Structure 1
Amino acid sequence: MKMRKKGDSPTKICPVCNRPFSWRKKWERDWDQVIYCSDACRRVNKSANAVHNTHR
């Protein structure tokens, strides 16, 4: 893979905090499945879904 400048890397918007985050080398194989910018945002979303599912 060709080296990229930091400004050229793809970005996504985190659905929890609504902030943009950029591609990282560790996400190279999984970039299409990456949804959240951090573990903290993933935990917030999982706990929100758990609360929503228990109040049905």
Structure 2
Amino acid sequence: MHKKPHLPEKMCPVCQRPFAWRKKWARDWDQVKYCSERCRRTGSG
């Protein structure tokens, strides 16, 4: 079984759930605020 190293996490301000770092966010992790596109649309609207 493959064990992932501990990844940084943030809390989504919309759904209040923690979400972990993803490779697609590697370049702009500091700017990521929402766990998903759906929460991003809900939060900015």
Higher helix share: 1
Identical aligned residues as a percent: 63
Q: What CA RMSD, in Å, does the superposition of the two structures yield over aligned residues?
A: 1.5
Residue 42 of structure 1 corresponds to 40
> TM (normalized to structure 1)?
0.70
> Looking at both structures, which has the greater relative contact order when contacts are Cα pairs under 8 Å and sequence separation is at least 6?
2
Partner SS, residue 21 of structure 1: strand
Q: Which runs of 5+ in 1 are unaligned?
A: 48-56
* Matches of 1:34 and 1:46, distance apart in 2: 13
Q: Which runs of 4+ in 1 moved over 3 A?
A: none
Structure 2: 5+ residue runs without aligned partners?
none
